[in-house]
């Protein structure tokens, strides 16, 4: 797959269907990594890590915001520690909600498609991550910290442990089980990715706008 050709196709397609300002650009480049991200104008937290991963998101419609990143990268062989020649591919789309004036937009979910060389992957490809629960948790934690209500925080943490952490699940998006096949689809060419993203955005636009 040609990275530059893919990015060119996506920029041309998404400027028409998403936002005229849609622009994937090369953020990080090295011999072993090509990392493209969308160019947005508003801040959001893409991953609640330590420290959290902050990104610039692009307004899609109403109070819905979008972040997209694509990576082409090589990695070391876990046995020889040498850089392998094959190229892994990773696509991640995050959807956020928030008013234009909000300093923090909350992530609702991510759609991802990873194509790694290993045949041992256990996660469905492509897949969904449901992350809106993290935003709710963050709101409560911030409230508790500001109000200095330690008892409230303890109760909240106790209740949170009773609910399964759904963000750990890779919810299958396109499992081929009805054809007696598995849950992993390989990325074969640029047009395949463009068609997937076009269908994904059209579906999300309908669901989020209803």
- What is the rounded distance in angstroms from the CA atom of residue 101 to the CA atom of residue 198? 29
pLDDT tens-digit readout, 128-181 = 988 866 555 665 666 555 555 676 667 666 656 655 667 778 888 888 888 888
Residues facing residue 119 across a β-bridge:
none
Do the beta carbons of residue 140 and residue 150 sit within 8 Å? no
Quick one: pLDDT at residue 136?
59
pLDDT tens-digit readout, 76-94 = 666 556 666 688 999 999 9
Do the beta carbons of residue 95 and residue 120 sit within 8 Å? no
Residues facing residue 34 across a β-bridge:
29, 72
Three-state secondary-structure class, residue 71: strand
Residue 39's nearest CA partner among 20, 16, 63, 64 is 20
Question: What is the average pLDDT score of the chain?
Answer: 82
What percentage of residues in the chain have a pLDDT greater than 70?
Answer: 75
Quick one: pLDDT at residue 120?
67
pLDDT tens-digit readout, 27-38 = 988 888 899 999
By the 10 Å C-beta count (0-12 exposed, 13-18 middle, 19+ buried), 10 is classed as buried
Residue 78 DSSP symbol: T
Do the beta carbons of residue 156 and residue 141 sit within 8 Å? yes
Quick one: pLDDT at residue 133?
66
């Amino acid at each position: 797959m040609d990275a530059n050709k893919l990015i060119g196709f996506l920029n041309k397609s998404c400027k028409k269907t998403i936002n005229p300002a849609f622009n994937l650009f090369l953020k990080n480049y090295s011999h072993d990594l090509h990392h493209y991200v969308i160019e947005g104008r508003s801040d959001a937290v893409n991953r609640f890590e330590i420290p959290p991963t902050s990104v610039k998101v692009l307004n899609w419609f109403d109070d819905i915001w979008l972040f997209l990143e694509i990576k082409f990268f090589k990695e070391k062989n876990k046995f020889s520690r040498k850089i392998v020649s094959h190229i892994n591919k990773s696509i991640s789309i995050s959807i956020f909600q928030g008013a234009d004036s909000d300093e923090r937009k909350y992530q609702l979910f991510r759609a991802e498609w990873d194509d790694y060389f290993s045949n041992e992957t256990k996660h469905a490809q492509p897949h969904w991550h449901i992350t809106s629960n993290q935003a709710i948790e963050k709101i409560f934690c911030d409230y508790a910290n500001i109000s200095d209500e330690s008892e409230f925080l303890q109760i909240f943490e106790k209740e949170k442990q009773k609910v399964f952490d759904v963000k750990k699940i890779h919810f299958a998006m396109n499992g081929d089980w009805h054809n007696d096949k598995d849950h992993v689809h390989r990325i074969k060419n640029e047009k395949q990715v463009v068609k997937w993203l076009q269908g994904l955005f059209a579906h999300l636009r309908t669901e989020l706008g209803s």
